[in-house]
Amino acid sequence: MVRAIVGGNWGDEGKGKMTDLLAAEADIVVRFQGGANAGHTIINDYGKFVLHLLPSGVFRRNVINVIAPGVALNLNSLFAELDMLAKRGVPEPKLMISERTQLLMPYHIMFDRLEEERLGSESFGSTKSGIAPFYSDKCLKTGIQISELFGNGLREKIEKVCFVKNQVIKALYGTSELLNANSVYREIISWKEKIAPLIYDTTHYLNQVRGNKRILLEGQLGALRDIEHGIYPYVTSSSPLAGYGAVSTGIPPWSVTEIITVIKAYSSCVGAGIFVSEIYDNAADELRKRGGDSGEYGATTGRPRRMGWFDTVASRYGCMIQGTTEIALSMLDVLGYLEKIPVCVAYEIEGHTIDTFPVSYQLQKAKPVYEYLDGWGCDISGIGTYKALPPQARAYVEFIEAKLGLPVTMISNGPKRDDIIYRK
C-alpha cells in the first residue's frame, strides 16, 4: 500500500505532526521533493524537533526512511540533523538515500543570496537555502548526482561549472566573491566516506517492496506553492503534489491509492505571494500568537507567518490538484477564542464573484467574500472524540467538508502527537 501526505495550501499546514502519526502505520517513509528550505515541526516523547531534510519517520524505530531523487540534498544540513537527533537521545534512524539524488552545492546557496539581494523589493521571499539555483542546474543538466562522488571526472565537472558561474557573478552581480573550484571540490568530496553507507538503489527497492510494504510519501510545502499549478512566480522550484511522489520515487502513479491532504483550520504562509484571505494588524497578531505550537513563525526562517482566515476557494483547488482522498484538519483548537469565525467562500474580481481558483494576475485583483460561522468560545484541546466537540466546532468542520466535497478524517486539536481526533 502506498499513501501520500501532502499540503493543501501555502505550506505550514502542520504536516510534520500528521506524518509523524501516520508513520506509526508505515514500514517506509519517503521524502520526495524540496530541500532544507522548509521544516516539519514534530512534538513527541523525545521533545520538540524541526526536520528539514530527514523524513518524519525517523522517530519510529522500525521505519525505513528514504530520501528520493527529487530532493535537493544539502549534506551539511543532513548530517547536522542526524547529529541533533543523536544528541537528544533519538536512536539512530534507518536511512536510505537514492543514488540518483542530486547534491545542493555551496554555490547554490551563494547564488540564491546574491539573486535575492539583486532583486531587492521585488524578491520572491526565498529562504536563501539554494533551492531555485539547485533546480535550475538540475534542468540545465549541470547538477551533481550523489553517485558522482564515487565515479571519475567530478573535479573536472566542478571546475567547468565554477568557471561559468564565475562569469555570471562578475557580469551580473559585480562582486569579487568568486568561486574556488578546488575548495568546492574538497568540501563535497569530504563527505564521501560518511555518506557511502547510506547510498542505495531506492528506485528498484521501492518497486520491489511496494506490494507488501506500507509506504508513506511525505511532501514539503503545499499545493499553492507548486511550480506548475501554484501562485506563480511565488512558488517553490519543485512539485509538492502527490503525483510528483510517484515521479520522484519511480513507482507507478496508480500505486498511490490514498492521498491525505493537510489543511489548517485557518490560513497562514511564509514568504511572498498572493494571499486573498490575509488579515492584518491586531487580528493577525492575535491569531499568530495563538496559532502553531508556540506561535506562527516559519520553522526554517523564524519569520512571522502571514495570517488569514480559512479559504475554501484556495483549499478546494489545492485538494483538487493533489488528488485528495481525505483531509487532515490541523489546529482547530486555535480558533476557540472567536465569537464569529470568518470563512472565505468566494472571490470578487472586478464586480464578478467566482468560487474557482484563478491564475495569478486575476488573484492580484481578488477580494475575499466571507461567511461567518458561530465560534465555540472554549478550549477544545484534549478532547478525544468528535462527538465530544462543541456543536459549533463540529458545524465548522462539516461546513469545510461540504465546501471542499471531501471527508475530514483527522482533526488536530493540539500540538502533541496524541492531540488528535479520528473520524474514520
Hey, what long-range contacts does 42-47 have (CB within 8 A, 24 or more apart)? 42/16, 42/17, 42/417, 43/17, 43/293, 43/415, 43/416, 43/417, 44/20, 44/416, 44/417, 45/417, 46/88, 46/89, 46/90, 47/88
As given in the structure block, the three cell numbers for residue 250 are: 519511480
Instruction: Please choose, from the candidates 59, 78, 86, the residue with its C-alpha nearest in 3D space to the C-alpha of residue 198.
Output: 78
To 5 degrees, how large is the angle CA 50–CA 53–CA 54?
80
CA distance linking residue 358 with residue 151, whole number of Å: 47
Tell me, yes or no, if 40 is annotated catalytic: yes
Catalytic-residue membership of 112: no
- Options 12, 137, 293, 419, the catalytic residue: 12
Q: What residue type is assigned to position 393 of the chain?
A: A
Q: Is the dihedral of CA 278, 9, 77, 83 positive or negative?
A: positive
CA dihedral 122, 263, 36, 277 (to 10 degrees): 10
Catalytic residue among 40, 52, 108, 229: 40
Number of residues in the chain: 424
Q: How far apart are CA 113 and CA 48, in angstroms?
A: 29
The 10 Å Cβ neighbour count of residue 62 is 10
Taking the CA atoms of 43, 2, 6 and 56 in sequence, report the sign of the dihedral they define.
Answer: positive
Catalytically active residues are 12, 40
